[in-house]
Chain A
Amino acid sequence: MNLQTMLSLIVSSTLVYSAPLIFTALGGVFSENSGIVNVGLEGIMTMGAFSSVVFNLTFASSLGRLTPWLGALVGGIVGLLFSLLHAVATINFRADHVISGTVLNLMAPPLGVFLIKALYDKGQTENISANFGYYSFPGLAKIPVIGPIFFANTSAPAWCGIVLAIVLWWVLYKTRFGLQLRSSGENPQAADTLGVNVYKMRYAGVLMSGFLGGLGGAIFAEAISGNFSVSTIVGQGFMALAAVIFGKWNPIGAMLSSLFFGFAQSLSIIGNQLPGISHIPSVYMQVAPYVITIVVLVAFFGKSTAPAADGVNYIKSK
């Protein structure tokens, strides 16, 4: 195995495993910047995965190659609707954010499996026929050395996610909407005084996390797992949450941390194909991403500070 094929293997599997995390973490960034802690990303991803798989199985024959993309969109919309529960509970009904988010995590897997049982009469779905597969960018893939490593046989959703992270960074830090959203998470009283509709901003944040989380779950189901069962989404949502904090609540940071987690996850899967690490006991490869995360966090980041009013209910005075 020469260096180039080795690198392209690492890069493409990193991108495949990062894609769901990037979208979900970006959603988390917006929710938390608006002041609503969202530990329910895992549940939102589960609903996204569930709905996209059902959509995919139903329409794959008629929609062909567009199916996974439309399935992801459906996953996003279902995730958005599911996140409304969290939004109403935390913004209007003064619920504790962590408890409400945990409810999403507790609710989604049984709900998904219950519906699968009601629809298909069994505990998990068939494998989907139209998945994301690998994509080569026309033109870019032809560039010598860089092309085959980064742009040939790669994950299209991951590149969409990377571009989206840059766009959302611009939205969050360079637009009026972004400033209003962040001010709702930093100091809702002051924002309200200046005429910002805090409730609206917080709804925007949570619903974005619902849409992007649903999208992330759908991408995971349609690119990696290939079906839906109770164990489709196990921990990816928490990984995305970790990426939000690791990335210091910044879209670009969250995207880079997602890439890092994706890289670490993929290493334990492709590790045995790589010369040099194939003889290391698999437990070290399995544990490495989590140990490295803790070490990096302790050594380089230290205290990560959330938006000041993150997790604090805002009660408008009459």
Chain B
Amino acid sequence: MIKVSAKTKQILVPIISVIAGFLVGAIIMLIWSYNPFEGYASMFDSALGNMNGIGETIREATPLIFTAIGFSIASTAGFFNIGLPGQAQAGWLSSVWFVLANPHMPKVILLPLAIVIGAVAGAIIAGIAGFLRAYFGTNEVITTIMLNYIVLYSSQYLMQQVMSAKLRVDTDTTKAVSPNGSLHLDWLSNMFGGARINAGIFLAIIATIIFWFIMKKTTTGFEIKAVGLNPFASRYAGMSDKKNIITSMLLSGAFAGLGGVVQGLGTYQNYFTQTASVDIGWDGLSVALLGGGTALGILIASILFSILKIGGLGMQTVAGIPYEIVSIVIAAIIFFIAISYVIGLLFKDKKTPIKVKETESSQIDKEGAQAK
């Protein structure tokens, strides 16, 4: 047992989880006789060893920051928004479509409008689930799962059947967005050796600050938190649970939609047919869990996640280790964070040694508060 203050413990537990996750990866590599040192060295080298790698890592992190914020807002209010992929996809398709349809609009109008449209599209999809939850008590887990599929198939239909053929290269790919509606910045991309890093990262940082501000400094954020912690108490205190359910889902979907926007107008510069749920949705969920739902945590987690993802590609080509190992490491890290109670047992609180027997209910409440 090591004696540390509660604050140090809060920082140490995630660090230990990350190390433990990497150890799990190393053990699996050893079992299948790959060299873990070589593997991890090539991973960090290709993700951070040159400007292009760093640029791609930041580019990978950009949409995840948005989707992770989306997940965190809903989860603070007590909802499991599993519909991030659908919401992101709606934002992606609608923003690209809008830009393609208005090629002659000046950039100062076109780009902001496209971004707003993407956010609104995501918000509408999530808002459906929120509305049904608020007025009919329909379980949001089911509705968001179902909405993922509805968006997936509808997007395919909209793009292939409804979108004008003039906007498409072939049935599965749209044309590239015009420079007026693109988040691509020449100087930024050149600075990072031609990586696809784009203005989205600045939007992501702004979004993180807005997220922090909403949750910490506004009544809306306070009510969302209160409803999440105890819906009955907050109703008794005069907060409208219906309003808060819908607000939190709308915000959550808007951020997820923005994740799709930066993917479309930034990373790929187009939209192409998706055959399965959009990956930034699921990855954003991972990042949110890694980051513990705080603004700073999400920023750090998104970078760590992207180092693993981008570095994993390098690991496969340089060290010949299957790419999947990085996803196993990510899952393992989240697992260790989930069982942080056990990791926390390694340490003793310096100031207040736990001598007083806690009642069960207060312990459960604490657990709940930590999980949030």
Q: Does B38 contact A (CB under 8 A)?
A: no
* Binary contact track B14-44/A, C-beta < 8 Å → 1, others 0: 0000000000000010001000000000000
Bound-state Cα–Cα, A247 to B363, Å: 32
Q: Does A64 contact B (CB under 8 A)?
A: no
Q: Does A297 contact B (CB under 8 A)?
A: yes
Q: Is the interface of B mostly helix, strand, loop or mixed?
A: helix
State which of B2-10, B108-116, B187-195, B325-333 sits at the interface with chain A: B325-333
Q: Does B220 contact A (CB under 8 A)?
A: no
CB of B285 within 8 A of CB of A118, answer no
Query: Nearest B residue to A298 by beta-carbon distance?
Result: B136
Could you say which residues of chain A place their CB within 8 Å of the CB of B237?
none
State which of A55-63, A67-75, A101-109 sits at the interface with chain B: A101-109
Bound-state Cα–Cα, A62 to B31, Å: 29
CB of B149 within 8 A of CB of A95, answer no
Q: Is the interface of A mostly helix, strand, loop or mixed?
A: helix
Q: How far is the CB of A307 from chain B (nearest CB, A)?
A: 14
CB of B142 within 8 A of CB of A297, answer yes
Q: B139's contact among A93, A189, A304, by CB below 8 Å, is which?
A: A304
Using known A-B contacts A106-B286, A238-B82, A286-B153, determine if residue A114 contacts B325 with beta carbons closer than 8 Å.
Answer: yes
Q: Does B102 contact A (CB under 8 A)?
A: no
CB of B363 within 8 A of CB of A315, answer yes
* Binary contact track B210-235/A, C-beta < 8 Å → 1, others 0: 00000000000000000000000000
- Near A by CB (< 8 A), chain B positions 196-212 give none
Q: How far is the CB of B231 from chain A (nearest CB, A)?
A: 13
CB of B153 within 8 A of CB of A287, answer yes
CB of A107 within 8 A of CB of B332, answer yes
Q: Does B364 contact A (CB under 8 A)?
A: yes
Q: Does B276 contact A (CB under 8 A)?
A: yes
- Near B by CB (< 8 A), chain A positions 242-299 give 242, 245-246, 281, 283, 286-287, 289-291, 293-294, 297-298
CB of A297 within 8 A of CB of B138, answer yes
Q: Does B338 contact A (CB under 8 A)?
A: yes
Q: Does B154 contact A (CB under 8 A)?
A: yes
28 pairs, CB–CB < 8 Å, chain A vs chain B: A85-B335, A94-B339, A94-B342, A96-B338, A96-B371, A98-B80, A103-B331, A107-B332, A110-B324, A111-B328, A114-B324, A114-B325, A189-B360, A234-B277, A241-B145, A245-B141, A283-B157, A286-B153, A290-B146, A290-B147, A290-B150, A291-B146, A294-B138, A297-B142, A298-B132, A304-B137, A313-B364, A317-B360
